[in-house]
Amino acid sequence: MKISCRKKTALNSKKDAVLIPVYRNMRALKALTGKKIEDEINDMIASDYFSYDEKEFSSFFMEIGGKLKKIYLVSVSKDPQDSRYYMELGSTFAKLLKKERISSFSMIAFEDIYMDKKDPQYTAAFLDGFFFGQYSFDVYKSKQEKSYQFDEVEIITSYTKLKRYIDDNAAEWNIQFDNIYMARDLVNTPPADLTPEIFAAKVKEAEGGNLKVTVVDDMAELSEKFPMVYGVGKGSPNLPRMVIMEYNGNPESPKHIALVGKGVTYDSGGTNLKPTGSIEDMKTDMAGAAAMFAVTKTASETGLKVNIKTYIPMVENIIGTNAYKPGDILTSAMGKTVEILNTDAEGRLILADALYTATQSDPEVIIDAATLTGACIIALGKHCAGLFSNRKFLAKNITDISYDIAEDIWELPLLPSYQKRVKSDNADLRNIARQKGEAGSVIAGLFLQEFVDNWPWIHLDIAGPAYIEEEHPIFGKYATGFGIRLLNRFIKVHYAEAN
């Protein structure tokens, strides 16, 4: 979608509609809208039809430039709020325009009604929310509505700083959300249409320029180099893959960061079969892989000056004649042996091989994202991800970013006293603790920690926010793309050099 910014008035807008934020006793709008629109707004506000209920949208028609246009008023707080307030407004407005099939609009910037020249965060947050609200997934519907395509949003402001900010970031916004939409599509896709082979091929399509993609699809090689990935995935007729993406955005630097994403394209639980109520949405168990694919692809397409190596193990975890079983002992890429007590704790196994492989190239930091544990949903709900890290500064740096962009994370402890719970009498480790129902997310984090060899590491358990069945005020329903904006910002702020 086109994002433009003009230093002019809404009266001259050539778009289909105009959006104007208002609050009680607001200063005169004439300088921003022109007298004709200001008079109409004042009449509207004075009518019984209008209320100042916050976040409420009202509308009326008026003629501008010989054409009938729709004017939307949104009632906002008199005082500036945090970013998610404006993200929610943006998401709601996108859905309203989609329903009314309006393809372009002009808007008065929030900074102008607040007379805030310092920070362009309000309008930027609104645009983030608007992008989220525009998403839809309807490719499998047999009777689709006539295609709706939103074209352009035009920001109207009197502030040079805001115009410069919009102009400088418009292209990057579109690239980022194209990749968020891609990731959401992948997570929403039925498992028959996104096997490890198909998923790996989609990642391979992104190769080009300074982005290299390697797909390990030879089972002998996979068994040798990534034995637990092979061990988990060998029971399915849709055989596993290991995908490695290498983005060389800063060739002058020897440094790089490592990303790891869990790619279980379908998780039945294996022999420890998931029950009805828990199995239906297991196409989503590759959301961590989709997120890391999107983050790496975004860095490449925006020319971010950083080097990234991304490891995405892809498996289908189902019952089969060759499937691994409770009681089996698998040997990891690191050499540590793992006793299998539950085949539904498979994500940590494939991540372990990928994390260890990541350590071998001496990264600055390793970050993994995974829909890893239902226990994390019990602890934090569907709107918040669990954060684990073996470095306090890493936990603080990423948490500081998360709130501002409404991608909530909460740090959980890697308690040393629980480490013995992942030790096995029959092997080096076991994949779950024997204490039922206790600290499942912590136990999973401690298991993964065994394979990072004290490298600086962040683990994000996104089991809750990656896929939300009920309408979220910003992200909508189902696949959310959670973590992509968070990691894009985190990498850009802390690891990328200025272009």
Kindly state the helix (H) or strand (E) to which residue 60 belongs, with its residue range. strand 57-64
User: DSSP alpha helices (H): ranges in 34-82?
Assistant: 35-46
Diameter of the chain measured on Cα atoms: 82
Q: Do 487 and 462 touch, CB atoms closer than 8 A? A: no
Phi and psi at 108, nearest 5°, equal -75, 130
Q: At 410, which amino acid appears?
A: W
Question: Distance between CA 427 and CA 131 in Å, rounded?
Answer: 49
**Burial (Cβ within 10 Å: 0-12, 13-18, ≥19) of residue 435:** exposed
- Angle CA(241)–CA(180)–CA(18) in degrees, nearest 5? 165
- Residue linked to tokens 């990642």: 203
Question: Distance between CA 162 and CA 77 in Å, rounded?
Answer: 20
- 164 annotated active-site: no
**Burial (Cβ within 10 Å: 0-12, 13-18, ≥19) of residue 395:** middle
- 274 annotated active-site: yes
- Residue linked to tokens 């040997």: 331
Select which of 98, 234, 274, 305 is catalytic.
274
Select which of 84, 184, 348, 430 is catalytic.
348
Rg (CA), the chain: 25
Question: Distance between CA 290 and CA 284 in Å, rounded?
Answer: 10
What positions carry a catalytic annotation?
274, 348
